[in-house]
Structures are given as C-alpha cells and as structure tokens.
Amino acid sequence: MKYCFDEVIERRGTNCIKWDYTKEIFGKEEILPLWVADMDFSVPPQVQQELEKRIKHPVFGYSGVPDGFKESFINWMQKRHDWSVENEWIIANPGVVPAISLAINTFSEEGDKVVIQPPVYPPFFSTAEKNKRELVLNPLQETDNGYEMDFDHLKKNIDSRTKMLIFCNPHNPVGRVWRENELEELVRICAEKDVLLVSDEIWSDIIMPGFKHLPLAKVADKLAYDGVITCMAPSKTFNLAGLKASATVIPEDKYRAKFIDLAERFGMNKVNMFGGITFTSAYNYGEDWLECLVSYLDENMDFLIKFLGEKLPAIKASKSEGTYLVWLDFRGLGLTDEDLVERMVHKARVGLNPGFSFGDQGKGFLRINVGCPRPLLVEALERIEDEFKNG
Ligand SMILES: Cc1ncc(COP(=O)(O)O)c(C=O)c1O
C-alpha cells in the first residue's frame, strides 16, 4: 500500500486525549486506548507539507479564512457526494459541535424541544441540555436488519414546541449510512411539522465499500424542503480533529443570515490559521490517501468481526456501513455496565467507550475505534479475548 497505516506512531507526550488522558478518563494509565474518535495515523503528506511551510514563517498574527477554502470544499462535495454547494451557502466555523450549539441558539429558545436519536454521540445530549433545551428522545430501533429510525414514534413526539432534530448522518455509534428512502421519510415528517434538521455529516467520507453517503440537504432539496443545516468537516476524514475547522452549509438565505449573525456575535465565524490551511489542503490533495485509508479501515473491521465470530461469539457485532467505529454488544454476557467497564479497563486493559454514554439504549454495549494500526487492534483483541473468553 502507498501509505503505511501499519506503522505504530508514539502519540504519548503530545497532550493527546486518546493516549495521554487515560488516567483521568479511565482511572488507569497502562491501557490500550481504542476509544475517542480520532485515528493513530499521520495525515496525508501534502497536508503536513503545507502546514510545515506555514510554520516556517515565524509570524502568527490574525489571519483570515484562506483563499481556496470554500472552493476546496465545493469541489470535494461535488466529486465525493455529487452535491452542488454554492459559495455563499458556506460558513466557516471552529468545529462541528460549536456549529450545532450555534444552530440550537439561533433557531430555538430556552425551553423549546430538540429531538435526538439515541444511542448517539454524547454532545448531542449535552449541547441541547446545557443550552436549556428540552430533549426529546426518538430512539433508534434494533431490527433484524440492524438499527433503523422509528418514524411512527417521531411523528407522535413532535409538538408545537419542537423546533429542531439533530441528525447523525452517518450515525455514530451504530455505523449506519442512511438510505435514500429513510432520509426522504425523515425530511417529509420534519417538513410537515416545521422542524428544522441539523444534519451532522462529519462522518460522510468514512464510508465502507458498497455504501454511499447521501447529504440530507440534497434529499430535502428534491422534496422542496429548505430547513436543513449541514455541519461538515475534514477532521474525521483526514485525522485533523485538533485543528478545529468545519463548514456549515445553509442554502436558505433567511436561516443563513440569522446563523451568521449569531456566529459573528460569538466570534465563531472563523477558523484557526492552521485549521484553515489543513482544511483546504486536505480537500484539495487528500483523495488518494482517503481511498487507501478506507480500504485499510475496511480490512480492520473485517478482521475485528472475524476475530469476534471465531473467538468471542458471545460478543455480537456487525460491520459498520460507515465510520471507523464498531458497536459491540456485550449483553449476552449478562454483566452489569459497571462490571463490564471494570473488567475491560482493569483486567483486559483496553479503553473503549461505555455504551451508556450514548444514552440508556447503549447499556450493555461498548464502542470500539478501529482507526489504528492493525498491530494495535490485534493486541487489543487478544487482551479482550484473554479476559472474556470464558464469559
Ligand atoms: C457525530 C460527531 N459530530 C461531531 C464530532 C466532533 O466534531 P468537532 O470536533 O468538529 O466539534 C464527532 C466526533 O467524534 C462526532 O462523532
């Protein structure tokens, strides 16, 4: 392979959340961390080179969004997702979670209702709650075909105070890449009930072979619904999460003007100097690297699923359609969540995300991140096997 994803790069000592904060997060230092959603891989070489070029210039004063920032994004969306985005629809922000929080504050008031679909990325809960919005849970349903949205439940749980639904497309942690008919149904319901859709598409580029990401706004456009705000970023795709740069896409003028107004008031209509450079160069030069990355992640996922099937059949998992996360079902072991986490951290010495942090629907699950060199994945799985082989 052209890029070496097997290389284990020492990340300890870089103030890295995944490796350096294990004591604070798990209460134990010596664990193999396969939890928080970043990867243990170096960025595409061209991205590193662009950054080095800028760092060699020793003045780091105020800087604007780089020339080519929006163009790189427009070209990427067209090429990868067949979505035509216009220049003026794009707003630069310092991350997707800040953009979601801005959207909550722009389009709803304290006490209004915000719908989320657990099990789901924990900041969907906390951004709504910390902004004093009432959370409405529309849990995904477990079916023989995997997780699905529960549209009947959604229809019944929207009322006049429901202003927005925060949608995870593709879905973290269950790894669904939503199909067109599912997206259409979601849009129809929200259009009919006048609920804005904030579509978090940060995972849209990590799509396993055989699946295709569909931007929700594209589906909504076909159905003549203009209430979609899309949050995108290159941070999962190219492993740039520490650089804090994202793009929010709002085609409808009236919504965009309100969002920009609040972003300006909070000084959140900007990206960090280095984030702007890496955003632009990753979208311009990273496609070939991404193709290799996705093949590697796909093989990691196959390896994981085969390993569990052969050696730990009581732990159920299916391959994710998108993301580099896999949702592991330990319910067959009959453990309490406390025991499960205790044994995983203190006996197996592997750091995974507890399922309950994604909502009550995640009880009995753990989330594993396969965005790591295969030798680390093998080591983690062998440790898990040693601890859980007898139940
Ligand atoms: C669904 C989802 N949205 C947003 C983020 C983080 O976005 P940012 O770092 O740009 O705030 C993550 C990170 O794991 C995520 O999984």
Express each pLDDT in 80-90 by its tens digit: 999 999 999 99
**Domain end: 241, 261, 285, which one?**
285
Please state the rounded mean pLDDT for residues 172-181.
98
> From atom 13 of ligand 1, which residue's Cα is the shortest distance away?
37
Whole domain around residue 293: which residue ranges? 17-44+287-388
Two structure tokens written together for 388: 């859980």
Instruction: With respect to residue 277, please indicate whether it lies within any of the assigned structural domains.
Output: yes
Going by C-alpha positions, the residue among 139, 195, 193, 199 that lies closest to residue 168 is: 199
Which residues are CB-neighbours of 221 under 8 A, at least 6 positions away? 251
Looking at the structure, tell me whether residues 178 and 111 fall in a common domain. yes
- CB 168 less than 6 A from any atom of ligand 1: yes
Looking at the structure, tell me whether residues 242 and 312 fall in a common domain. no
Instruction: With respect to residue 281, please indicate whether it lies within any of the assigned structural domains.
Output: yes
Q: Round to whole Å and give the CA distance between 355 and 364.
A: 6
Looking at the structure, tell me whether residues 302 and 271 fall in a common domain. no
Instruction: With respect to residue 203, please indicate whether it lies within any of the assigned structural domains.
Output: yes
The closest-lying atom of ligand 1 relative to the alpha carbon of residue 96 is 10
Q: Round to whole Å and give the CA distance between 391 and 388.
A: 5
- CB 245 less than 6 A from any atom of ligand 1: no
Rounded to two decimals, what is the model's pTM?
0.98
Q: What are phi and psi of 119, to 5 degrees?
A: -70, 135
What does the pLDDT look like over 283-330, one tens digit per residue?
Answer: 999 999 999 999 999 999 999 999 999 999 999 999 999 999 999 999
Looking at the structure, tell me whether residues 217 and 302 fall in a common domain. no
What does the pLDDT look like over 100-132, one tens digit per residue?
Answer: 999 999 999 999 999 999 999 999 999 999 999
99 C-alpha vs ligand 1 centroid, how far in Å? 10
Q: What are phi and psi of 247, to 5 degrees?
A: -130, 130
- CB 96 less than 6 A from any atom of ligand 1: yes
Looking at the structure, tell me whether residues 228 and 267 fall in a common domain. yes
Looking at the structure, tell me whether residues 67 and 211 fall in a common domain. yes
Q: Order of strands across the sheet with 325-329?
A: 325-329, 365-369, 353-354
Domains in the chain: how many in total?
A: 2
- CB 121 less than 6 A from any atom of ligand 1: yes
**Domain end: 250, 285, 320, which one?**
285
Looking at the structure, tell me whether residues 274 and 291 fall in a common domain. no
Cα 206–90–68 angle (5° rounding)? 80
Going by C-alpha positions, the residue among 40, 52, 2, 43 that lies closest to residue 283 is: 43
The three-state secondary structure class of 148 is strand
Looking at the structure, tell me whether residues 270 and 371 fall in a common domain. no
Two structure tokens written together for 28: 């134990």
The three-state secondary structure class of 142 is strand
The closest-lying atom of ligand 1 relative to the alpha carbon of residue 233 is 10
202 C-alpha vs ligand 1 centroid, how far in Å? 6
Instruction: With respect to residue 240, please indicate whether it lies within any of the assigned structural domains.
Output: yes
CATH code (residue 198) = 3.40.640.10
Q: What are phi and psi of 67, to 5 degrees?
A: -55, 140
Percent of the residues in the chain that have a pLDDT greater than 90, as a whole number:
98
Q: How many CA atoms lie within 13 A of 182 on its CB side?
A: 17
- CB 268 less than 6 A from any atom of ligand 1: no
Angle between helix 273-285 and 45-56 (nearest 10): 150
250 C-alpha vs ligand 1 centroid, how far in Å? 19
- Ligand 1 pocket: which of 100, 216, 236 to mutate (most atoms within 8 A of CB): 236
Q: Round to whole Å and give the CA distance between 42 and 123.
A: 26
Q: If pLDDT is split at 50, 70 and 90, which confidence band does 391 have?
A: confident
The closest-lying atom of ligand 1 relative to the alpha carbon of residue 99 is 11
Note the pLDDT of residue 335: 97
pLDDT above 90 for 79: yes
CATH code (residue 327) = 3.90.1150.10
Encoded amino acid at 112, one letter: D
Looking at the structure, tell me whether residues 276 and 338 fall in a common domain. no
Looking at the structure, tell me whether residues 366 and 281 fall in a common domain. no
Instruction: With respect to residue 39, please indicate whether it lies within any of the assigned structural domains.
Output: yes
- Ligand 1 pocket: which of 93, 121, 237 to mutate (most atoms within 8 A of CB): 121
Looking at the structure, tell me whether residues 279 and 155 fall in a common domain. yes
Note the pLDDT of residue 156: 98
Instruction: With respect to residue 210, please indicate whether it lies within any of the assigned structural domains.
Output: yes
Instruction: With respect to residue 337, please indicate whether it lies within any of the assigned structural domains.
Output: yes
- CB 237 less than 6 A from any atom of ligand 1: no
Going by C-alpha positions, the residue among 244, 231, 238, 240 that lies closest to residue 273 is: 244
Q: Which residue has the tokens 């959207």?
A: 103
Instruction: With respect to residue 347, please indicate whether it lies within any of the assigned structural domains.
Output: yes
pLDDT averaged over every residue in the chain: 97
pLDDT above 80 for 1: no
CB 73 within 8 A of CB 85: yes
Going by C-alpha positions, the residue among 89, 90, 121, 93 that lies closest to residue 105 is: 93
Q: If pLDDT is split at 50, 70 and 90, which confidence band does 370 have?
A: very high
**Domain end: 285, 302, 322, which one?**
285
Looking at the structure, tell me whether residues 163 and 239 fall in a common domain. yes
Note the pLDDT of residue 342: 97
CB 121 within 8 A of CB 144: no
